[in-house]
Amino acid sequence: MIGRTLVPLLVAGGHEVTAMTRSADGGALMRSLGAQPVMADALDCDSVLEAVIRTRPEAIIHQLTDLRAGNGAANAALRIGGTRNLVDAARAAGVERVIAQSVAWAYVPGDEPADEQVSLDVAAAEPRSTTVRGVTALEFAVREVPQWIVLRYGVLYGSGTWYAADGLRADEARAGHLVANEDVTSFVEVGDAALAAAQALDWPSGAVNVCDDDPAPGIEWVPVFCAAVDAPAPPLAGVGRAPWARGADNARAREELGWTPRYASWRVGFQIEN
């Protein structure tokens, strides 16, 4: 979903882009957006190595996910195995910069939105530990290259995401299954996430929270989302906030690195993107 926006941004910025894909349809789409496709399966180390060696890029932007079926274990496996293969190939090809997609909700429990100095929640219990384990493996792997940037995205919304009008969360909302609770979430619109990935080609090494300015509990954002996707008012949960559901602080991206999202808040973005 990010690649569809990111590739045109990179091409417009004067970059030569090679897009890794597993399918002919994906290759045709990437070619139509201005990229040169290369066929490889991220979980096949040999095909990834061949693709990277043949291309010899100056940088790799890693946006691999496996979210279509909502399977957290499959996504974690791709983050672990796919990242390992990309990093090994990058090192073999002499690639010095890797930018990788991570998440902004893997931090240890706390009362305030987490900044990048907060530790990841490696002691989390299942099912959360599956996600945290995948994220941790990804982030440690990319640190093996000389220049690394980890983009800790908030929850993605917009075209192609679970929060699009035709997405998984919208279906849950229309069925009355999306509950409004006290858990705090930080969001980022998919185009704003792609913009950060493009700008990260010039950022210094480190982790960066890429999310909007408005961390909010579900009792605030879920009703707005339901209204935006023509769903009934959501049921309310009678429990408190999960300690880890604290949101994230985007001050580094905004103030230090100059990232300016189109949507400073989901309150506007939900309405426009749906």
- 198 in a structural domain: yes
Residue 180, classed as helix, strand or coil, is strand
Residue 39 domain boundaries? 3-160+188-214+250-263
Q: What is the mean pLDDT of residues 73-91?
A: 96
- 165 in a structural domain: no
pTM reported for the whole predicted model:
0.96
- In this predicted structure, what is the pLDDT of residue 157? 98
**186 pLDDT exceeds 80?**
yes
Tens digit of each residue's pLDDT (9 = 90 or more) over 3-45: 999 999 999 999 999 999 999 999 999 999 999 999 999 999 9
pLDDT tier at 219, thresholds 50, 70, 90: very high
- 146 in a structural domain: yes
- 54 in a structural domain: yes
**Alpha helices, DSSP H, located in the chain:** 3-12, 24-32, 45-55, 72-77, 83-93, 128-142, 168-174, 190-199, 218-228, 251, 266-273
**106 pLDDT exceeds 80?**
yes
Q: What is the mean pLDDT of residues 136-164?
A: 97
Pairing of strands 184-185, 216-217: antiparallel
Tokens of 150: 């980890």
Residue 61, classed as helix, strand or coil, is strand
**67 pLDDT exceeds 90?**
no
Q: What is the mean pLDDT of residues 138-149?
A: 98
- In this predicted structure, what is the pLDDT of residue 102? 98
pLDDT tier at 71, thresholds 50, 70, 90: confident
pLDDT tier at 196, thresholds 50, 70, 90: very high
Tens digit of each residue's pLDDT (9 = 90 or more) over 256-268: 999 999 999 999 9
Q: What is the mean pLDDT of residues 57-84?
A: 91
The percent of residues in the chain predicted with pLDDT above 70, rounded, is: 99
- 269 in a structural domain: no
Give yes or no for a contact between 75 and 62, defined as CB atoms under 8 angstroms apart: no
Q: What is the mean pLDDT of residues 88-103?
A: 98
Instruction: Give the count of domains, the chain.
Output: 1
Q: Supply the mean pLDDT for the chain.
A: 96
- 23 in a structural domain: yes
Q: Which residues contact 126 (CB under 8 A, 6 or more apart)?
A: none
**69 pLDDT exceeds 80?**
no
The percent of residues in the chain predicted with pLDDT above 90, rounded, is: 96
- 153 in a structural domain: yes
**70 pLDDT exceeds 80?**
no
Q: What is the mean pLDDT of residues 174-183?
A: 97
Cis omega (within 30 of 0) for bond into 234: no
> Distance (Å, rounded) from C-alpha 215 to C-alpha 47?
40
What is the CATH number for 130? 3.40.50.720
**238 pLDDT exceeds 80?**
no
Residue 165 CA to chain centroid, in angstroms? Answer: 19
- 236 in a structural domain: no
